[in-house]
Structure 1
Amino acid sequence: MTPHYTESSLRQPRTPHIRMPPFTGKEGWETWRAQFEAIANRYGWDEEERLNQPRLEGAAAQFVFSQLSPMC
């Protein structure tokens, strides 16, 4: 029996459940960003994958979601 592949099964993320720790604003932005870039480069994330990764919490989320204009 040959395996059956669907279009959605072929579009699975290339990275195994790698999850960046959230940026809260308590740690240094440069350190967090360097860690993010190292992981993104290691796993070959394209722009879309990079945009789907970051999580903001605490003061960082409060600033972004209350002070910045939406991009959409």
Structure 2
Amino acid sequence: MTTTTYQVTGMSCAHCEGAITQEVSQIGGVENIEISSATGILTVTSAGELDDAAVLAAVEAAGYTGVRT
């Protein structure tokens, strides 16, 4: 298991969290997603090595900006 953390900007509510969760959950190998609009932290746990570019593209597809921390 690999856990990776990202800082996401632009989130302000549960709807924001849900949009990002929906996009990131479509990435192969993702086992768990924890996200907080209050802190702007997205934590993704995957079965193996996680593709950062895919996660960041999913965050962008949801309408937000992210960087790996």
TM-score after normalising by structure 1: 0.30
Higher helix share: 1
Higher strand share: 2
Structure whose CA Rg is larger:
1
